[in-house]
Structure 1
Amino acid sequence: MAKKKVVAFVSQRNVCRSIIAEAYAKRLGQEVIECFSFGLEPDRVHYLVQEVLAQRGFNLTYYFSKRYEVVERQPFDILVLMHPSLKEQLPQIGYPHEEIVWEFEDPMQQDIPEAEKRKAIEQLCDAIEQKVKELVASQQQVA
């Protein structure tokens, strides 16, 4: 069996999109990828994200927002940027790696009522789950 690819999901604050992606990747891809997430300006994982993921059966005990420096000793094969705007802000990574750019807006940045924000997070979870399935499938073909 081929060595697992190491994947990092990158977002601005590591409070929503990249945490969701990490959770789904750990659930769906543990046979073919090892995954992490980090934020360029980390903050707390948003409580609505925690609630929505918990309702979907995720145990978030070990999920927390972290900056690149926390994981920089871990070499990554693939960096998944959760939005194209992150490319210019990404720290210099001095080894070969693949970059994949997804385009997910951050619902935490939207000034909308809590019920709408929760619905946006649920829709985001569904969309990210689909992208993670595609990523996992692509790595299964390589393995």
Structure 2
Amino acid sequence: MKKIYFICTGNSCRSQMAEGFAKKELARSFEVRSAGVEKHGLNPQAVQVMKEIGYDISGQTSDLIDLEYFNQCDLIVTLCGDARDKCPVVPKGHEHLHWALDDPAGKPIEKFRQVRDEIEKRVKKLK
């Protein structure tokens, strides 16, 4: 099975939402994980906006990048410039996508919904 890793700064919002979508949409093709270059904890507003559309990410955890998993990944997706810049070097032969998405943390709930919807579109294109 192929492996995919969603990485953002704190593994609290964007990468968590991407993991939630991918675990449902890509489960037949990919083992899915998310991580951050830092650990900020799971953002309750990310949990809330995902729940609004039927995805429960409340059991996910905020994790730092696992280099062993990272080096085994077929696809690495960075979701912000900070993660792209601080991410370990992507091994040769591994695909890397960069999605420059705004960080919704600390912003109104509508921003979380906008980012969520954009992530959903992009994850579905990975099929």
Q: TM-score normalised to the size of structure 1? A: 0.79
- Provide the residue aligned with 1:19 in structure 2: 16
1:128 aligns with 2:109: no
**Secondary structure in structure 1 of the residue aligned to 2:125:** helix
Relative to structure 1, the CA distance from residue 92 to residue 59 in structure 2 (aligned partners, 3 Å threshold; closer, same or farther) is same
Q: CA RMSD in A?
A: 1.7
1:54 aligns with 2:51: yes
The structural deviation recorded for 1:33 is 1.5
Looking at structure 2, the residues matched to 77 and 120 of structure 1 have their Cα atoms a distance apart, in angstroms, of: 30
The structural deviation recorded for 1:94 is 5.1
The structural deviation recorded for 1:72 is 2.5
Structure 1 window deviating more from structure 2 (98-107 vs 84-93): it is 84-93
More helix by share: 1
Give structure 1 regions of 4+ aligned residues with deviation exceeding 3 angstroms.
92-96
Contact 2:9/2:82 (<8 A) preserved:
no
The structural deviation recorded for 1:37 is 0.3
The structural deviation recorded for 1:54 is 1.8
Looking at structure 2, the residues matched to 93 and 134 of structure 1 have their Cα atoms a distance apart, in angstroms, of: 21
1:118 aligns with 2:113: no
Contact 2:47/2:56 (<8 A) preserved:
no
Looking at structure 1, the residues matched to 14 and 120 of structure 2 have their Cα atoms a distance apart, in angstroms, of: 11
Could you tell me which of 93, 97, 101 is aligned with 1:100? 97
- Provide the residue aligned with 1:7 in structure 2: 4
- Provide the residue aligned with 1:141 in structure 2: none
Contact 2:3/2:31 (<8 A) preserved:
yes
Structure 2 unaligned residues grouped into runs of 5+: none
Tell me the amino acid that sits aligned with residue 131 of structure 1. Answer: R
Q: TM-score normalised to the size of structure 2? A: 0.88
Looking at structure 2, the residues matched to 90 and 55 of structure 1 have their Cα atoms a distance apart, in angstroms, of: 31
Structure 1 unaligned residues grouped into runs of 5+: 137-143
Contact 2:8/2:82 (<8 A) preserved:
no
1:39 aligns with 2:30: no
